[in-house]
Chain A
Amino acid sequence: MFDDLKDKLSEYVDTPVEEITENSRFIEDLGLNSFEFMSLLGYLEDEYDIEVDENEILNIKTVGEAVSYIESLTK
């Protein structure tokens, strides 16, 4: 899951994929703006056939938190 998300993120940001860690913050470290972040969520919903909760996703700040959240929905 983490590797898949990293690969996807490399389509959005200039940060080399090997530098993306679980602690990387979407906005501060990777430079995603709100539209890009929402677009990424749309991809994840399609890819993993999940439906994210709009209030919960606002608390997701890091790649690791996103991975945990998606895994909780796919179980």
Chain B
Amino acid sequence: MSIKYYPLAPAQATQHELAKEFGTSQVINICVCSTLKVNIDFGLLKQCIQEEFKRSECLRIRLTEPDENGDVMQYIAAHDPRDIELADLSGLSEEDINQKLNEWSFKPFSEPNAPMADIKMIKLPDGYQGLYLSIDHRLVDSSGIIVIINDIMELYCHYVFKSPYPQPLSLYTDALVKDLEKEKNQKKIDRDGAFWDEILGIGEPLYSDVTGPWKLEDDRKKHNNPNQRYVYRNIDDTRAGFASFTLEPSPTFRLLEYCMNNNVSMTNLLLMGLRTYLSKANNGQTDISIRNFVSRRSTKLERFSGGSRTEWYPCRTVIEPDTEFLDGIYIIQELQNKIYRHSNYDQARLAKKFAEKFGQPPHTTYEGVLLTYQPLPVRLQNPNLRGLPYKSKWLSNGTAVQKLYLTVMHNPNGGLEFFFKFQQAELSYQDVEKIYYYLMRIIFAGVEHPELTVGKIIDMV
């Protein structure tokens, strides 16, 4: 059977460019450790993982050798008959476990025409057992990984508890072909481009740093440009720090209830919380930009085919201090809805627009924070699993290409996990702890006191 080669879809190309920019695909490893407090039949789990490699096309993506420009094509390997390692870390200290997980997670998938996903079975202390996954971001994003984990769990439950055999996953190549077709629709590209022209027509954004205005001022002096509105990203020292915080189920429920009652999304509530924090940290700056990830999964084909579909777009709002918190969310929501409608627009094209319009140089940014809200939880649907203690830990690949990247996800216990990945050269754990503290205070002040304005909340917290 002849192999069919495809170019990278735009979302994959964005990741590919990052790997090129930093000279290693380590920067785009995406890794997670997902365990339950239960005795697992590892022989059976191994079969389920091997079956998953057959069911999920995106796990079998291979990239060709880069051409002279560093560009690659992708194809699907027909088979991936691999052994699945069982790693028993149950006797190790937390420090040794972290060292082992880091050793795996830092390893790039740099060989062409080779597998780019590693799945291990894992035993941790205190009876936690499950899966470790490290996958190249060109193959999947966090939604894609969750689909894979859920599917393996459903397969396992089918064989152990005789629950129904899971529906086949959608074909990755079907979604890919549709994405590539969209790339040829010039009329759509023009329409999306016109939208971004309109956004850029508002004027040049203004950087706001999580640690205050000194960063921009410092950068202006360094580059002898008092009018500079962006800052240069640190691309030399990408050592990553990682901090995670859990919001308990009860306050999480309160936030979900607030979103439902006010017809706003959790993404927009988080964006409002973050931009209010940035405004506070920057002496009340009203013009705030945050880079927000859009998962771009709307159809069932897109939701169940894995793949890497995430694109990030700037969410820039100017919100005055006399605006009530909820009204601020509505301002964000209106903008985000428009962005969603134009979210097929390629990152490379958008970056080019910023460069042409504002003379924005490479390696610079207007956004001090990146946000991903992941609404899809790892499901413990099977009655035999529901209620079991569960741990899911997203792991650092050891590098941070952005100053601060916040991922917010639901955990199976009904709470929210806040994962902060940050550049150690730029921020400390204590900085991040402070950001989380203020973020929670701001959000709950807004949620519990709807009459409060942004200015009052900033003063209050």
Q: Mark B251-295, 1 if CB is under 8 A from A, else 0.
A: 000000000000001000000000000000000000000000011
CA separation between A33 and B188, bound complex, in Å? 22
CB of B340 within 8 A of CB of A45, answer: no
B336 at the interface (CB under 8 A from A): yes
Candidates B188, B296, B301, B343; contact of A46 at CB < 8 Å: B188
CA separation between A33 and B299, bound complex, in Å? 11
CB of A12 within 8 A of CB of B340, answer: no
B100 at the interface (CB under 8 A from A): no
Contacting residues of chain A (27-63) with chain B, CB-CB under 8 angstroms: 33-36, 38-42, 45-46, 51, 54, 58
CB of B265 within 8 A of CB of A12, answer: no
Candidates B299, B301, B341; contact of A38 at CB < 8 Å: B341
Candidates B188, B191, B265, B298; contact of A39 at CB < 8 Å: B298
- Contacts A35-B340, A42-B344, A46-B187 aside, 10 further interface pairs with beta carbons under 8 A come to A11-B300, A33-B265, A34-B265, A35-B295, A38-B343, A39-B299, A39-B343, A40-B298, A41-B341, A42-B342
CA separation between A51 and B194, bound complex, in Å? 12
B337 at the interface (CB under 8 A from A): yes
CB of B337 within 8 A of CB of A34, answer: yes
**Quick one: closest B residue to A55, CB to CB?**
B334
B39 at the interface (CB under 8 A from A): no
CA separation between A33 and B301, bound complex, in Å? 16
B185 at the interface (CB under 8 A from A): yes
The total of chain A residues at the interface (CB under 8 A) is: 17
Q: Which residues on A are within 8 Å of B, measured CB to CB?
A: 11-12, 14, 33-36, 38-42, 45-46, 51, 54, 58
CB of A12 within 8 A of CB of B300, answer: yes
CB distance from A59 to the nearest CB of B (A): 13
CA separation between A12 and B70, bound complex, in Å? 36
CB distance from A12 to the nearest CB of B (A): 5
**Quick one: closest A residue to B342, CB to CB?**
A42
CA separation between A12 and B302, bound complex, in Å? 9
Candidates A11, A36, A42; contact of B301 at CB < 8 Å: A11
CB of B300 within 8 A of CB of A38, answer: no
The residues of A that contact B299 with a CB separation of less than 8 Å are 11-12, 39
CB of A46 within 8 A of CB of B185, answer: yes
**A11-B300, A11-B301, A46-B185 known; A34 and B336 CB under 8 Å?**
yes
**A41-B341, A42-B341, A42-B344 known; A35 and B188 CB under 8 Å?**
no
CB distance from B171 to the nearest CB of A (A): 14
The total of chain B residues at the interface (CB under 8 A) is: 21
Q: What are 28 A-B interface contacts by the 8 Å CB criterion?
A: A11-B300, A12-B298, A12-B299, A33-B265, A34-B265, A34-B333, A34-B336, A34-B340, A35-B294, A35-B295, A35-B296, A36-B298, A38-B337, A38-B341, A38-B343, A39-B296, A39-B299, A39-B340, A40-B298, A41-B341, A42-B341, A42-B342, A42-B344, A46-B185, A46-B187, A46-B188, A54-B338, A54-B341
CB distance from B155 to the nearest CB of A (A): 21
The residues of A that contact B338 with a CB separation of less than 8 Å are 54
**Quick one: closest A residue to B375, CB to CB?**
A33
CA separation between A54 and B299, bound complex, in Å? 21
The residues of A that contact B333 with a CB separation of less than 8 Å are 34
Q: Mark B186-229, 1 if CB is under 8 A from A, else 0.
A: 01100100000000000000000000000000000000000000
The residues of B that contact A51 with a CB separation of less than 8 Å are 191
The residues of A that contact B185 with a CB separation of less than 8 Å are 46
The residues of B that contact A12 with a CB separation of less than 8 Å are 298-300
The residues of B that contact A39 with a CB separation of less than 8 Å are 296, 298-299, 340-341, 343
**Quick one: closest B residue to A35, CB to CB?**
B340
The residues of B that contact A41 with a CB separation of less than 8 Å are 341
The residues of A that contact B187 with a CB separation of less than 8 Å are 46
CB distance from B195 to the nearest CB of A (A): 9
CA separation between A34 and B269, bound complex, in Å? 14
The residues of B that contact A42 with a CB separation of less than 8 Å are 188, 341-342, 344
CA separation between A42 and B298, bound complex, in Å? 11
**Quick one: closest B residue to A58, CB to CB?**
B337
The residues of A that contact B298 with a CB separation of less than 8 Å are 12, 35-36, 39-40
9 nearest A-B pairs in the assembled complex, by CB-CB distance:
A39-B298, A38-B340, A36-B298, A38-B341, A11-B299, A35-B340, A12-B299, A34-B337, A42-B341
